[in-house]
Amino acid sequence: MNLYDFEPKIVAFCCHYCAYAAADLSGSMRLQYPPNIRIIRTPCTGKLEVEYFMRAFEKGADGVLVAGCEEGSCHFSDGNFLAKRRVNYARQILMEAGFEKERLRMVNLGAADATIFVPMVKDMIETVRNLGPSPLAKAKIFVKQENPL
C-alpha cells in the first residue's frame, strides 16, 4: 500500500441492542455504506476495555468507532456511560502516543436508527480518510520503503 491508494480500515464495536440492530436494519433497507468498516458485535459497550481499542489500532485499524445505546437506554443501566469514560481516556492515551484523537469516536443511537447509522459511518470513514493512515501504518510503510527486501 502507498499513501495514494489509502482506504481507511475502521473497526466498529457495535452494541447488540442498538448499533448492531441499526446496521442490520440498514442492510434490510438496502442503505449502502462503504466496505471500509468491520463490525464487531458486543453485548454492551460497557464490556469494552481500553485495551480493545488499542488492540484494534495495533492490528491495523486506522480508526475505531464505538456505537452504543442512547444515553439512558443502555440495557445494562450504565454501560454506555462506562464506555464513554473509557473512550475519552483512550483518546488521551492515543494523543500522547502521537495519534489524532479523532481516530477513536463514540456515538449513541437506537436500534431503529439505520438512517442515522449510515451517514455516521460515512462521516467516520471520511474523517479518517482525511487524517490518512494511522501512525502505526505509516511507520510500516516507511520501513518497507527503506528496506524493500
In the bound state with ligand FES, the residue whose beta carbon lies nearer, of 15 and 104, is: 15
- Which residues sit at the interface with ligand FES, rule CB under 6 A? 15, 17-18, 44-46, 68-69, 74-76, 79-80
Half-sphere exposure in the Cβ direction for 64 (13 Å, CA): 28
Contact 18, 73 (CB under 8 A): yes
Helices 114-131 & 19-28 angle (0-180, nearest 10): 100
DSSP 70: P
In the complex, the smallest distance separating the C-beta of residue 74 from ligand FES, rounded to whole angstroms, is 3
In the bound state with ligand FES, the residue whose beta carbon lies nearer, of 23 and 69, is: 69
In the complex, the smallest distance separating the C-beta of residue 62 from ligand FES, rounded to whole angstroms, is 24
Comparing CA positions, the residue from 16, 11, 14 lying closest to residue 36 is 11
In the bound state with ligand FES, the residue whose beta carbon lies nearer, of 10 and 21, is: 21
The torsion defined by the Cα of 24, 28, 30 and 32, in degrees rounded to 10, comes to: 0
In the complex, the smallest distance separating the C-beta of residue 60 from ligand FES, rounded to whole angstroms, is 26
Contact 105, 123 (CB under 8 A): no
| 104 three-state secondary structure | strand
In the bound state with ligand FES, the residue whose beta carbon lies nearer, of 41 and 140, is: 41
In the complex, the smallest distance separating the C-beta of residue 94 from ligand FES, rounded to whole angstroms, is 22
In the bound state with ligand FES, the residue whose beta carbon lies nearer, of 9 and 86, is: 86
